[in-house]
Amino acid sequence: MLLAAALSLGAVGCARGDASEEGEGSSDAVTLEPVQGTELSKVILSRRAAERLGIRTDQVRVARVAGQRRAARGAAGPVATRKVISHAAVLYDENGDTWTFTSPEPLTFVRQRIDIDRIAGDRVVLREGPPPGTTVVTVGAAELLGAELGVGE
């Protein structure tokens, strides 16, 4: 996955800290800003880089989901309200930890750890994660991860 991200970023012409001409002035395709108190970085894309990567987003939603099946009876447990995201918004790092990229403002992306309760088709039920209404990346997240971690430098 990270190799694919590096190759895609190379095609976009994203640079980490180097100015690049993109036809819309002399702005960087990708800018990284440290997130204070963490080892994470904000990934800020130029408009053209976001278009070339095909960035797509969705929102964290609240949905009614059935509880875990009871082994003895095979019946579904009680229905609860939980946070859910699209399976496409989930990233796995090299340690198997789960993440999603949030978008707190246009063209700005921040990786956030999530704790998955279960996956049901294309819907991921979260134990922990961003609050409902938060914008999460569903297309282009692997490329954002590659940019943040410096893959392909």
Q: What is the pTM of this model?
A: 0.76
Residue 5 predicted with pLDDT over 70: no
Query: Tens digit of pLDDT for each residue in 35-84?
Result: 999 999 999 999 999 999 999 999 999 998 876 554 445 555 677 889 99
DSSP assignment of 92-144: E-TTS-EEEEEEEETTEEEEEE-EEEEEETTEEEEEE-SPTT-EEEEESHHHH
16-41 mean pLDDT: 70
| Domains of the chain: residue spans and CATH | 2-149 (2.40.420.20)
Quote the pLDDT of residue 74. Answer: 54
Length of the chain: 153
Residue 114 predicted with pLDDT over 90: yes
Average pLDDT of the chain is: 82
Distance CA 25, CA 102 (A): 27
Higher pLDDT, 69 or 139: 139
pLDDT band at 23 (very low <50, low <70, confident <90, very high): very low
19-41 mean pLDDT: 74
